Amino acid sequence: MAAKSENGTTPGIPMPWNRPQRKREQPSLSRDQIVAEAFALLDANGIEALSMRKLAARLNAGATSLYTHVANKEELLALVVDQIFGTLPLPEAEGSEEPKVWRAKVMECAESMRAAITRHPWMVGVIGDVGMIYLGPNWMRLCEAQLAVMETAGFEFSEANEAMNAVVGYTIGTACVEASWLASLARSGQDEQEWMNRLLPTVIEATKDFPRLHRLYTTEVSSEVEAGRDNSFTRGVNVILDGIEATMNARRGR
Amino acid sequence: MAAKSENGTTPGIPMPWNRPQRKREQPSLSRDQIVAEAFALLDANGIEALSMRKLAARLNAGATSLYTHVANKEELLALVVDQIFGTLPLPEAEGSEEPKVWRAKVMECAESMRAAITRHPWMVGVIGDVGMIYLGPNWMRLCEAQLAVMETAGFEFSEANEAMNAVVGYTIGTACVEASWLASLARSGQDEQEWMNRLLPTVIEATKDFPRLHRLYTTEVSSEVEAGRDNSFTRGVNVILDGIEATMNARRGR
DNA sequence: CGCCCCGCCGTACACTGTGCGAAACAGTGA
DNA sequence: TCACTGTTTCGCACAGTGTACGGCGGGGCG
């Protein structure tokens, strides 16, 4: 009773000199720190390396402490994803009147978006868990900028929206397929070329009944896979841009 | 002692007449059954309703029994996904020489693929976990058929491949965005229109700094959201097909 | 009959996200 | 100085997860 308040020899009683003495030594935890560390963890070891406990350990914090800054894991992931989109360069609308200019701007935007997804392949596993990604501020900023480009290029509002959806849809779809490949590649821990060499025989065997795919895999993919993917993507976007431009010209013509 | 072997009144002692009497009554468990039941579970309650234990319970089996038929959960998911692609109609190549015909065929293929994804929105959360989906037999059959259509339409091999990638990429990307929306909608348990009405004010508030998006959400989306998505998708595919056709015409012209 | 093999399953392990209540702390007013 | 308040931190616990392992029991074969 008196022992407790006065000398405190009872083990576990906090005394001034051995007290942890951290007077909230840092802000200690902030949403930005958490997001940043989660990002690092994801980039380092993929999606299954991110658990609330591991993340908290990295931050020298208790697992459940995170929940004062982040509602739940889903929200955390949404924040991380939107932060990625925040690193992409925003296209500027000015000077987009000429076809070559806006095409280049849209192309660059698509390429950087694809690069972001393939550089962080774990994103593919995240967009499924997280609804509402496309309502994040950075994502919206990106969309707004791209719409602005299309509008100053001379598109009507709904045309611009359609065009953007086409490009963005293609970009996300392609990049997701690529990223799911890259993610399973990262898990295997092997070089892309080497992993390809190991996998190719199986694929060729599997495509035995499909002559066109067989030809595709035996001839096309054989060398420099990465550059091949880059070129393929660029051509795909160009095809879409052709379609978009044709649409606008048709409207002007009539 | 004697009671045990002779009259067996002790509870739990197996006696011939109440013995389970299954002489391996069925194959009892098969890969197809497992996949089918997993599919049902996923369709009923989404991705987080599928655990090996729950699935096994549905099949009156022990949890770990599944592993004799399926390597792990990832493989199971891959099987389920490929089975979905197996239900899609295969386009036939014959008669695809005329532009209207092959465009219609490709369009139908894209639409059915999108329909499959949006009807089973949990797929979005799966394509991330599972690499190698696009090496499943049914998926490959689909690709082969689409390539055949493009080739008889007069495209060169690499052109056909490019065209298919463009359409498929756009389809997957768009459908995934839609499905992620639909999945979070399914979790909310509300009607799409109602959920939209509840969400729209927030979105409009959030887009305050982005005039074009603001306009988009205040005017465009207000009514009949589902039909709107359908039309938007169709127009997107048409834009891409325009681009593809232009590419071919350009080659013929030179 | 005995043997082996293989499908089945109970148990166990390591790990997950997160609710709850207690603690530690900063700030305020008396 | 003290009590009180609101916020942040965290240990514990719970209900689950995927799946490795070892045993069990029955069918097929010698």
Domain presence at residue A89 = yes
Strand nucleotide closest to residue A56 (CA to C1'):
D10
pLDDT of B139 above 90:
yes
Domain presence at residue B43 = yes
Specify the pTM.
Answer: 0.88
Mean pLDDT of A27-33: 86
Q: Give the pLDDT of residue B225.
A: 66
More confident position, B161 or A129: B161
C1' (D28) to CA (B66) span, angstroms: 23
Q: Give the pLDDT of residue B9.
A: 37
CATH number at residue B31: 1.10.10.60
Degrees to nearest 5, angle at CA A146 with A145 and A150? 120
B111 and B233 both lie in a single domain: yes
Domain presence at residue A245 = yes
Q: Give the pLDDT of residue A170.
A: 97
Lowest mean pLDDT among A142-156, B105-119, B183-197: B183-197
Nearest CB partner across the interface for A239, out of B162, B181, B203 = B162
Q: Cβ contact (<8 Å) for B213 and A240? A: no
A234 and A136 both lie in a single domain: yes
**A208-233: buried (b, 16+ CB within 10 Å) or exposed (e) per residue?**
eebebbbebbeeeeeeeeeeebeebb
B135–A contact, CB cutoff 8 A: yes
Domain presence at residue B6 = no
C1' (C19) to CA (B88) span, angstroms: 44
Cα A131 to Cα A116, B105, B158, distances in angstroms? 19, 32, 36
Q: Is the CB of A69 under 7 A from strand D?
A: yes
Q: Give the pLDDT of residue B8.
A: 37
Our count of domains for chain B comes to: 2
pLDDT of A248 above 80:
yes
Q: Give the pLDDT of residue B224.
A: 64
Q: Give the pLDDT of residue A219.
A: 81
B142 and B229 both lie in a single domain: yes
Burial of B97 per CB tally in 10 Å (0-12, 13-18, 19+): exposed
Domain presence at residue B112 = yes
B244–A contact, CB cutoff 8 A: yes
Domain presence at residue B206 = no
Cα A239 to Cα B99, B111, B249, distances in angstroms? 17, 20, 12
Name the percent of chain B lying above pLDDT 70.
87
Q: Which helix (H) or strand (E) holds B69?
A: none
B50 and B146 both lie in a single domain: no
C1' (C3) to CA (A254) span, angstroms: 87
pLDDT of A51 above 60:
yes
3-class SS at A232? helix
C1' (C3) to CA (B24) span, angstroms: 20
Q: How confident is the model at residue A20 (pLDDT cuts 50, 70, 90)?
A: very low
Name the percent of chain B lying above pLDDT 90.
64
Tell me which chain B residue has its CA closest to the CA of residue A203: B135
Q: How confident is the model at residue B197 (pLDDT cuts 50, 70, 90)?
A: confident
Covered bases, chain D (protein CB within 7 Å): 7-13, 16-22, 26-27
Q: Give the pLDDT of residue A207.
A: 93
B62 and B100 both lie in a single domain: no
pLDDT of B78 above 60:
yes
A50 and A104 both lie in a single domain: no
Q: Which helix (H) or strand (E) holds A103?
A: helix A99-119
Domain presence at residue A94 = yes
Nearest CB partner across the interface for B148, out of A126, A137, A212 = A212
Q: What does pLDDT average to over chain A?
A: 86
Q: What is the pLDDT of residues A74-124, one digit of tens each?
A: 999 999 999 999 999 999 999 999 999 999 999 999 999 999 999 999 999
Q: Give the pLDDT of residue A5.
A: 38
B149 and B233 both lie in a single domain: yes
B230 and B128 both lie in a single domain: yes
pLDDT of A1 above 90:
no
Strand nucleotide closest to residue B25 (CA to C1'):
D26
DSSP per residue, B94-156: TTTTSHHHHHHHHHHHHHHHHHHHHHSTTHHHHHHH-TTGGGSHHHHHHHHHHHHHHHHTT--
Which residues 33-52 of B have a C-beta within 8 angstroms of A?
47
Tell me which chain B residue has its CA closest to the CA of residue A221: B158
Instruction: Tell which of B70, B99, B125 closes a domain.
Output: B70
pLDDT of A241 above 80:
yes
Which residue range forms the structural domain that includes residue A58? 26-70
A156–B contact, CB cutoff 8 A: no
pLDDT of B41 above 80:
yes
Domain presence at residue B165 = yes
Q: Which helix (H) or strand (E) holds A138?
A: helix A137-152
Radius of gyration of chain B (CA): 26
Nearest protein residue to D19's C1' (by CA)? B64
A226 and A179 both lie in a single domain: yes
Nearest CB partner across the interface for A243, out of B127, B207, B242 = B242
Mean pLDDT of A205-219: 91
Strand nucleotide closest to residue B50 (CA to C1'):
D17
A168 and A45 both lie in a single domain: no
pLDDT of B226 above 80:
no
Q: Is the CB of A51 under 7 A from strand C?
A: yes
Which residues 186-215 of A have a C-beta within 8 angstroms of B?
187, 203, 206-207, 210-213, 215
Q: How confident is the model at residue A222 (pLDDT cuts 50, 70, 90)?
A: low
B115 and B34 both lie in a single domain: no
Degrees to nearest 5, angle at CA B100 with B156 and B112? 85
pLDDT of B15 above 60:
no
Q: What does pLDDT average to over chain B?
A: 86
Q: Cβ contact (<8 Å) for A203 and B135? A: yes
B141 and B238 both lie in a single domain: yes
Q: Give the pLDDT of residue A224.
A: 64
Q: Give the pLDDT of residue B120.
A: 96
Q: Is the CB of A51 under 7 A from strand D?
A: no
Token pair 């991380």 in the structure block, residue: A80
Burial of B157 per CB tally in 10 Å (0-12, 13-18, 19+): middle
Q: Give the pLDDT of residue B194.
A: 83
Degrees to nearest 5, angle at CA B115 with B112 and B121? 145
Tell me which chain B residue has its CA closest to the CA of residue A211: B144
